[in-house]
Structure 1
Amino acid sequence: MIPKDISLSDIRTFVVLAEAGSFTKAAEQLGCGRPQISKQLAQLEDSLGLSLLIRTTRRQQLTEQGQLFYQQCQQALLDIEQAIEKLQDSRDKLHGHLHINSVGGPIGEDIIAPMINQFLGQHPEIKIELDFSSPRVDLIQEQYDFVFRMGELEDSSLIARKLCDLNISLYCSPSYAQQYGQPQTPDELSQHRCITGSVQQWSFKNPDNGKVEDFSIDGQLQCKNGRVMLASAIAGNGIIRVPELYCQKEIREGNLIPLLQDWRLVATPFYLIYLKQKNSAARIQAFKDFVIESFEQFNP
């Protein structure tokens, strides 16, 4: 039981402050002024008889006791939130909000967005906020429930469910091939114009020995948007490295041609990422199950 002189509201404010990293951001999230945040922090520290936060003109930092208190309270508040969500979830209808971040471009727009639309059609009481921002996101700080990402994951506090492997290939336009020729080996890419996204090191499997070889690529155009990369390649500006599903239509219509087909690029895993402790609410579980089932039927 929480002692009478310690307010649950003050504890929640402290947790938000620790996660936000500043009084200004915490005040914005809580919809109050910075003085209110300071007052609640002071009340909590007085009640505990401990200093939880060290604040200077440039930064703030949790004390050792503050870090321990934050970790325990953050989990406790999450448990309370999930308990409330479970009570609110009806047996027949799911409701509430889902915050989702995804890679954009053809994958986000042509694969993830239609899946989300189908899920919303099945669960009209659920509201979804879908964000296509590219940078790696912090699920805790930015309060996302799910993130769709390509590439490996190292953070042990997250669960990465592999949905599929995306086959990757090189392409250029017929006009580029006519003007500059086609590379016969990855070594020759240094002599060509290339268009790169977030990956500047391209990994190939040597057809002779099966070993993976890495090549650093200095792109004349760098852009993380897949559609922009495709448009630039079709315009004859260079060679692109993209998932095969990005440009099936362009290949059929003859606007792009595949390159170095003997040297296979290493496939990229595609993941659904979520927090370990964010898998209890019914809508969370329902969306996770829906995505996994959808990708089991999906052939990239």
Structure 2
Amino acid sequence: MKASMDDLYLFILTVRHGGISAAAQAHGLQRSKVSRRLQELEKALGCQLLIRTTRQIELTEHGRLLYQHINQPLSDVNQAISLLKNQQQSLQGVLRIAVPAAFIASTLFAELLDDYARQFPDITLEIIHRHESIDLKRENVDLQLLPDVVDIINEDYVQQVFFPSKKGLFCSPHYLLNHPRPESVNALFEHAILTSSYDSSILPEGLTIRLISEDLGLVNKMAQSGHGIALLPMILVRQQLQQGQLIHLLPDIYQSEIAMTLVYSSRQFLPEKTRSMINLLRDKFLNHH
């Protein structure tokens, strides 16, 4: 679909007046028509240009890029349109992913980035540490991975649950030299517990919580150092279990589930670089339950 020059003009008016309603009123147009034509423009370009709120609009990164060129001669406008389309379809540029710090430390995530970097060498990966849900459009982030217990701030964003994994209780061999091995959940009341705020609410009340941290890598390290019993995802401790640095406690009694939610802003305006990462996530994590 080819972008209409009339729609581009309406885009300019909307940006200049700071909103769809203001632009429509200033030029004697129907607001619904302006809104519909802007949607057609986004569809033609294959990317989102505006973040619409009740009273105003904000430009996305693509919207700013287009507006920077759009007041130039017509040849530059056409060049800007081609640039946007190429950006959406090409496998280059920057892919920004927001991920909890603990997940970054996992072997699976390192393997994922290694595979992606090998397949798409022209894409720069930018990994951002975030434990809370963020506004992807305003922070110019392509994807976010979060534990499924975290509420997503924008319900319009696409959410896909990946990476289901068991959680368990772990401690170091050194810790058991100085503390009795728990043989039941009730025995946990005699021990110091290391956990995240996500998980502290699902543990029995009255336990002695020695450490609460959103950084599960830190919880893991503290457990290895003998500071207590940690509640951690199995997928984060496999290497430590194989090397004997951690011991799995109560494996037949205490288990719970954890999953990660993959969040992105839109299915309709999905750049190929983002789609490729989503496909890689699906292929890798669905095979590692």
Q: Paired residue for 1:96?
A: 93
1:243 and 2:237 aligned = no
Q: Give 1:132-281 correspondences, 5 Å limit.
A: 132-152=129-149, 153=151, 155-201=154-200, 203=202, 214-216=203-205, 217-277=207-267, 279-281=269-271
Alignment CA distance shift 1:83-1:188 (3 Å): farther
Where 2:107 maps in the other structure, the secondary structure is helix
Shift of 1:120: 2.5
Letter in 2 for 1:172: C
Where 1:164 maps in the other structure, the secondary structure is strand
Number of positions where the alignment pairs a residue of Structure 1 with one of Structure 2:
243
Given that residues 131 and 146 in structure 2 are in contact (C-alpha distance below 8 angstroms), is that contact kept between their aligned partners in structure 1? no
TM-score by length of 1: 0.66
Where 2:132 maps in the other structure, the secondary structure is coil
Letter in 2 for 1:94: L
Alignment CA distance shift 1:120-1:188 (3 Å): same
Distance 1:107 1:3 in 2: 41
Where 2:136 maps in the other structure, the secondary structure is coil
Letter in 1 for 2:117: L
Shift of 1:145: 0.9
Shift of 1:246: 1.8
Where 1:115 maps in the other structure, the secondary structure is helix
Where 1:157 maps in the other structure, the secondary structure is coil
Q: Paired residue for 2:56?
A: 70
Given that residues 99 and 127 in structure 2 are in contact (C-alpha distance below 8 angstroms), is that contact kept between their aligned partners in structure 1? yes
Q: Paired residue for 1:11?
A: 15
Shift of 1:253: 3.0
Question: Which stretches in structure 2 are left out of the alignment for 5+ residues?
Answer: 1-5, 29-51, 68-79
Alignment CA distance shift 1:249-1:108 (3 Å): closer
Letter in 2 for 1:215: P
Given that residues 202 and 265 in structure 1 are in contact (C-alpha distance below 8 angstroms), is that contact kept between their aligned partners in structure 2? no
Shift of 1:178: 3.0
The percentage of aligned residue pairs carrying the same residue is 17
Question: Which stretches in structure 1 are left out of the alignment for 5+ residues?
Answer: 16-42, 50-65, 204-213
Letter in 2 for 1:249: Q
Where 1:258 maps in the other structure, the secondary structure is strand
Letter in 2 for 1:147: Q
Distance 1:100 1:277 in 2: 16
Shift of 1:127: 2.2
Where 2:270 maps in the other structure, the secondary structure is coil
Given that residues 86 and 282 in structure 1 are in contact (C-alpha distance below 8 angstroms), is that contact kept between their aligned partners in structure 2? no
1:115 and 2:112 aligned = yes
Distance 2:146 2:175 in 1: 31
Where 1:299 maps in the other structure, the secondary structure is coil
RMSD over aligned CA atoms reads 3.9
Q: Give 1:16-27 correspondences, 5 Å limit.
A: none
Q: Deviations over 1:178-204 (max 9, x none)?
A: 32212333333233111122334364x
Given that residues 199 and 231 in structure 2 are in contact (C-alpha distance below 8 angstroms), is that contact kept between their aligned partners in structure 1? no
Given that residues 158 and 264 in structure 2 are in contact (C-alpha distance below 8 angstroms), is that contact kept between their aligned partners in structure 1? yes
